[in-house]
């Protein structure tokens, strides 16, 4: 057994008194959900036009608030059309130099982007003045939106979806975030306890000052996909009909650990690996490296690069097992709850927010991040004992409906926003 003994945590909705406002009632489950006419107007800001986890979780929230809100994107992309299709008003204000600032390389080169930064700070502030609340959904949105606080003077909510530590970010970036959170943000909402803990350690905020709202998904969308004829489903998706399929979902990026899954596959004769996702944020060199790795290990015919796909329920249900292989602590991991909703057994890397979702051998299987032998062992065990795989998948399906529903996520977020209204 390679998997470690891990704490079995299933945190209830976490209550908090946070930031500059009292929030005791924000997340209590019996507090009334604000009706839409009484709800504050909200300007949501997101730095990306791509469909990453942050954007996909904002999508239903922005749709719910569509009548009284708007989304400002700092970069154009397919996210815009997805929002508009749900009736959300969207504006785009992009600046190439600001967009080029990367989290891994926040060095002096950002100085060249200063004029663009100032212009975007002003644009966001001008927009924000027309709304009651400013909701910043990503880190670049945090910087640009919070810096403009003296101009817009609106309550600022930041949804932290990262583990703000030295493992993930540079010193300069952490200092900027710490200063902004202390001086220009009224409330931080975290997507997991792991994200919240890292932020409180960084900023010195009280441990209970950052409420946690886990992502939620619509499990019924998964129930609607018929996978009773698995051959037909795989045929439709262009996948091998009879192979034993392990699926890994997510953008191609070194820390998402697709290379770990390819390495494991080389030790699993007969199994196939399906990589669903694309290099969304300029990780093309890594994508090429994965192709080379598969060639060099002689498994290229068993690794299927599917690219970015919209139809998660179908792709997930076509798999025998769903893998999550992040080598760094995952802030939350939507793909894990989606795999659970798809009714497939999930093997996940035991770090960060994942430990708030998966309980080892109860509703999934945990492996240490980067542990190839552990991953191989997990996959072999689930392949050789279908009854166990089925049992884990059934428990996971029940858990996701109970703990990670879209309704509960929307209600908690709506209450949080409503309490911040002036």
Which parts of this chain interact with ligand UDP (CB under 6 A)? 51-54, 56, 249-251, 276-277, 308-309, 312, 332-335, 338
Sort 42 into a burial class: Cβ within 10 Å, 0-12 / 13-18 / 19+: buried
Element (H, E) at 304: strand 303-307
Find, among 171, 170, 175, the residue nearest to 143 by Cα. 175
Query: CB within 8 A of 284, min separation 6: which ones?
Result: none
**Minimum distance from CB of 251 to ligand UDP (Å)?**
5
Q: Where are the extended beta strands (E) located within 74-186? A: 90-92, 133-136, 156-160
**Minimum distance from CB of 353 to ligand UDP (Å)?**
9
Of the pair 147, 273, the CB lying nearest ligand UDP is at 273
**Minimum distance from CB of 397 to ligand UDP (Å)?**
17
CA distance linking residue 75 with residue 120, whole number of Å: 11
Task: Give the nearest residue (CB) to ligand UDP.
Answer: 53
Of the pair 180, 349, the CB lying nearest ligand UDP is at 349
Residue 305 in 3-state DSSP?
Answer: strand
**Minimum distance from CB of 57 to ligand UDP (Å)?**
8
Asked whether the beta carbons of 191 and 213 are under 8 A apart, the reply is: yes
Of the pair 117, 276, the CB lying nearest ligand UDP is at 276
**Minimum distance from CB of 166 to ligand UDP (Å)?**
19
Of the pair 286, 308, the CB lying nearest ligand UDP is at 308
CA distance linking residue 124 with residue 141, whole number of Å: 9
**Minimum distance from CB of 326 to ligand UDP (Å)?**
8
Of the pair 10, 308, the CB lying nearest ligand UDP is at 308
**Minimum distance from CB of 156 to ligand UDP (Å)?**
22
Query: CB within 8 A of 67, min separation 6: which ones?
Result: 36
Of the pair 267, 309, the CB lying nearest ligand UDP is at 309
- 269-307 per-residue burial string, b: 16 or more CB within 10 A, e: under 16: eebbbbbbbbbbeebeebbebbeebbeeeebeebbbbbe
Asked whether the beta carbons of 161 and 331 are under 8 A apart, the reply is: yes
CA distance linking residue 404 with residue 214, whole number of Å: 7
Of the pair 276, 314, the CB lying nearest ligand UDP is at 276
Per the DSSP assignment, residues forming a β-bridge with 91 are 72
Find, among 276, 279, 291, 271, the residue nearest to 255 by Cα. 279
**Minimum distance from CB of 133 to ligand UDP (Å)?**
23
Of the pair 140, 419, the CB lying nearest ligand UDP is at 140
**Minimum distance from CB of 346 to ligand UDP (Å)?**
12
Asked whether the beta carbons of 397 and 109 are under 8 A apart, the reply is: no
Of the pair 47, 377, the CB lying nearest ligand UDP is at 47
């Amino acid at each position: 057994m390679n998997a470690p003994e891990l704490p079995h945590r299933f945190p209830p909705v976490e209550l908090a008194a946070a930031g500059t406002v009292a929030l005791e009632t924000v997340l209590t489950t019996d507090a009334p959900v604000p009706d839409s006419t009484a709800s504050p107007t909200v300007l949501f800001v997101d730095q990306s036009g791509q469909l990453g986890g942050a954007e996909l979780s904002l999508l239903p929230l922005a749709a719910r608030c569509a009548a009284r809100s708007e989304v400002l994107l700092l970069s154009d992309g397919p996210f815009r059309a997805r929002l508009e299709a749900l009736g959300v008003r969207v504006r785009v204000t992009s600046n190439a130099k600001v967009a080029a600032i990367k989290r891994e390389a926040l060095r002096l080169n950002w100085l060249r982007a200063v004029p663009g930064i100032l212009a975007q700070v002003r644009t966001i502030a001008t927009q924000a003045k027309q709304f009651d609340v400013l909701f910043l959904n990503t880190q670049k949105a945090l910087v640009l939106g919070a810096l403009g606080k003296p101009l817009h003077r609106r309550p600022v909510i930041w949804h932290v979806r990262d583990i703000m530590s030295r493992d993930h970010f540079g010193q300069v970036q952490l200092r900027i975030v710490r200063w902004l959170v202390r001086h220009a943000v009224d409330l931080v909402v975290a997507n997991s306890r792991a994200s919240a803990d890292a932020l409180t350690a960084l900023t010195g905020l009280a441990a209970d000052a950052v409420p946690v709202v886990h992502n939620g998904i619509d499990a019924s969308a998964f129930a609607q996909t018929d996978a009773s004829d698995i051959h037909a489903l795989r045929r439709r998706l262009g996948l091998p009909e009879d192979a034993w399929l392990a699926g890994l979902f997510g953008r191609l990026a070194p820390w998402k650990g697709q290379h770990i899954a390819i390495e494991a596959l080389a030790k699993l004769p007969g199994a196939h690996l399906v990589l669903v996702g694309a290099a969304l944020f300029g990780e093309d060199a890594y994508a090429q490296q994965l192709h080379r790795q598969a060639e060099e290990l002689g498994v290229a015919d068993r690794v299927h690069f599917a690219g970015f796909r919209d139809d998660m329920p179908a792709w997930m249900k076509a798999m025998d097992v769903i893998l999550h292989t992040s080598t760094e602590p995952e802030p939350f991991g939507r793909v894990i709850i989606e795999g659970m909703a798809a009714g497939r057994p999930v093997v996940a890397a035991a770090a960060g927010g994942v430990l708030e979702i998966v309980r080892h051998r109860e509703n999934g299987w945990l492996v240490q991040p980067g542990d190839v032998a552990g991953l191989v062992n997990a996959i072999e065990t689930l392949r050789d004992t279908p009854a166990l795989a089925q049992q884990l998948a059934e428990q996971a399906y029940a858990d996701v409906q109970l703990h990670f529903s879209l309704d509960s996520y929307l209600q908690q977020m709506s209450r949080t926003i409503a309490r911040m209204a002036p």
